[in-house]
Structure 1
Amino acid sequence: MKLVVRVKLLPTPEEAAALEATLRACNEAASCVSVRAFESGRTSRAALQALAYAELKARGLSAQPALHVLRKVADAYTALRASLKAGSLGRRVSKRYRGVAGKPVVFRPDAAQPFDDRCLSWQLDKRTVSIWTTSGRMKGLAFTGQAEQLAMLTAYRKGETDLLCQGGAWYLVATCEVPEAAPNTAPAGFVGVDLGIVNIATTSAGTRHSGRRLNRRREADRRLRAKLQKKGTKSAMRRAKRHAGKEARRARDINHKISKCIVAEAERTGRGIALEDLGGIRERVRLRKPQRVTLHSWSFRQLGTFIAYKAQRAGVPVVYIDPAYTSQECSRCHHVDRRNRPSQAVFACQACGFVEHADLNSSHNIAARGWWTWVRGAESQAPALTLTV
């Protein structure tokens, strides 16, 4: 399976200026090629190479970076056509669809630029890289990363590496081909995972990952963000942007920790993992405005994706079940009634009198549905994943 490892570069001010000039030059060239591709209707890699390769060389790009620019433009149009065909950008007659389809793709000055081993080489023992720039080959550029990331780079790095600038910091994003463990084809049951707001994740094994403290922190973050946006000054906007990055990194870190615990629990007990299929939850659920803000601001999809790829790497099977009525169904007698859920935390069956924590009861229902899904041979296969770790 493919995993993406991101390491942070530690450039001097002069090296950072050279990297910035390189990204700007590559993306300006990509935007120019995009205009020509749009006007001529020729967006394949071969057509673009015949159309604009000489022009890119005249701009001062070396052979490999020029080819990567052409491929980046071709891939951008391929992705755009796929999005238009899938309806992700609205209907053909919509203003959004016509606005996107009626103009060439434009690349940001700081958009990521791919490099292959001819343009970039790693010295992992010294924690430095040598990279092509528009001002010449830059050698001895230092980088840092976690020990686990560096070990993965050393053992499994394969393919291209992207140069990326985010928030003034420079990163290299490398692709690694990591071997998967032998899949568990005969799981001894399933760990059901109920996702929520008060408890971010509750497993059928009885583990609850509480979100109360985190929700208070997120509410404080929202108040601060609203205050800064209302103020509207440049310094306030800079602070809001910087704070938003911290909030996203905090959520990502929590999702990584929760998913790691869930997968380790399933692997240790020889079970699979059953998850709710939450696709389209924003459209299905009807909530008051304060509740919508809370629901939509947490990245449940990211948590589910982290569980899926960690499980795939560990050989743990994952199934997705229909979440309908899992919170109203009794896990003992399977009686479904809205009155079974008198409050957020309490489940009390109106038929058999069974009482349990509501999230734990839901997780038992999810585990049972996951087992029957597996038995019926309709197990869901985790998709091919390319993720940043």
Structure 2
Amino acid sequence: MKLTVKFKILPTKEQEQYLKETLNEYISTVNNIVQSMINNRHIKLTSKDIKANLPSAVKNQAIQDAKSVYRKYKKTNNLPILKKPVCIWNNQNYKINDCLSFPVLIDGKSQRIKVKMLLSDYQKQQLNNKLGSLRISKKSGKWIAQIAVEVIEKQNNNENIMGIDLGLKVPAVAVTSNGKTKFFGNGRQNKYIRRKYKTLRQKLGKAKKLKKIKQIADKEQRWMKDQDHKISRQIVNFAIENNVSNIRLENLTNIRNTARTSRKNEKNLHTWSFYRLAKFIEYKANLEGIKVEYVNPEYTSQKCPYCGELNKARDRKYVCKICEFSTHRDRLGAMNIMKAPVVDGVA
């Protein structure tokens, strides 16, 4: 399984200048190579054929990226022009120890620079796996490194299943086949943060501070993404604690049309990424050898898991009119998701 480890790097002012020059030269070189391939109709190139202020190893990588762009051009006949400064080194041309070390061109010669990194314990752990290419770019004034890693998935031979219901007031509810239930996240906090940023954007809009509005939007998205990471990690840890082998989630194709929400929560529904949270759960679960399946969400909020009767919940409480089974509405959803048919087959 392939993952991308994304982390900040802290270049000195001198190193930052080298990086700016390298990234701009790299993207310009890729565009020039693609244009040359189109004009000359051949893609057999070596680093000796490329005139650019880049180390030979980086030139070779630029050729590979240009070939990829050229192949896309041949399929679509649309020429993509790369604009965002970026540079890529293959796994043989960079090293990770206490610092991130990679070659750049300094005074016409290829020299390695060692740049400080900010790594979490989780990131350090992932970088112990087989490493792929290194990609460096600059976003919102910060230098970002991304490294592709090949992770070996664990084997899981347990038989317990866990259903997860995603929502707004309660971001996630999990129910396991061995009878455990847990609620994750704080819907009220999420709603408060979104309302806070919305009010701030309106004030900045009236003041015509457009650049500041973009910065605020980026900050809000980072906060939301961080919440999804934390919730998905807690869910997978809960699955591990309960020896779960399969996690079941709703098929999210039409969740924005079918999710249970009031008119006042409609805007929140369209700003919260159910899909991203589901994908975070999926890839973290897969790393632990836990299979993730998607099920048909039909009647999961109404069907009694014991007698099958359809009932509508009142507020947050569900009560079956036939067998009088009662529970939290979102817990009911997780129970039914756990038992529902898998989208591509029968559970």
TM-score scaled by length of structure 1: 0.77
C-alpha separation in 2, matches of 1:270 and 1:128: 38
Q: Which residue of 1 aligns with 2:154?
A: 181
1:285 Cα offset (Å):
6.5
Q: Which residue of 1 aligns with 2:168?
A: 197
**Residues 309 and 16 of structure 1: CA distance in aligned 2, closer, same or farther (over 3 Å):** same
Residue 182 (structure 2) aligned to one of 207, 220, 245: 207
Asked if residue 255 in structure 1 is aligned to residue 248 in structure 2, the reply is: no
Asked if residue 320 in structure 1 is aligned to residue 294 in structure 2, the reply is: yes
C-alpha separation in 2, matches of 1:342 and 1:238: 44
Note the aligned Cα RMSD (angstroms): 2.9
Q: Which residue of 2 aligns with 1:88?
A: none
Q: Which residue of 1 aligns with 2:31?
A: 31
1:211 Cα offset (Å):
1.0
Contact 1:35 1:105 in 2 (8 A): no
Higher helix share: 1
TM-score scaled by length of structure 2: 0.86
Contact 1:348 1:355 in 2 (8 A): yes
1:137 Cα offset (Å):
1.9
Q: Which runs of 5+ in 2 are unaligned?
A: none
C-alpha separation in 1, matches of 2:320 and 2:74: 51
Asked if residue 64 in structure 1 is aligned to residue 38 in structure 2, the reply is: no
Residue 87 (structure 2) aligned to one of 98, 102, 113: 113
Asked if residue 245 in structure 1 is aligned to residue 212 in structure 2, the reply is: no
Single out whichever of 278-287 and 68-77 deviates more from structure 2: 278-287
Residue 192 (structure 2) aligned to one of 195, 212, 216: 216
1:162 Cα offset (Å):
0.8
Q: Counterpart amino acid of 1:214?
A: N
**Residues 138 and 360 of structure 1: CA distance in aligned 2, closer, same or farther (over 3 Å):** same
Contact 2:88 2:134 in 1 (8 A): yes
Contact 1:49 1:70 in 2 (8 A): no
Q: Percent identity?
A: 25
C-alpha separation in 1, matches of 2:68 and 2:262: 41
Q: Counterpart amino acid of 1:318?
A: V
**Residues 270 and 208 of structure 1: CA distance in aligned 2, closer, same or farther (over 3 Å):** same
**Residues 79 and 286 of structure 1: CA distance in aligned 2, closer, same or farther (over 3 Å):** farther
Q: Count matched residues.
A: 339
C-alpha separation in 2, matches of 1:163 and 1:327: 45
Which fold has the larger relative contact order, with Cα–Cα distance below 8 Å and residues 6 or more apart in sequence? Answer: 1
Residue 207 of structure 1 aligns to a residue whose secondary structure is strand
Residue 181 of structure 2 aligns to a residue whose secondary structure is coil
Contact 1:61 1:134 in 2 (8 A): no
Q: Which residue of 1 aligns with 2:115?
A: 141
Single out whichever of 265-274 and 283-292 deviates more from structure 2: 283-292
Asked if residue 353 in structure 1 is aligned to residue 324 in structure 2, the reply is: yes
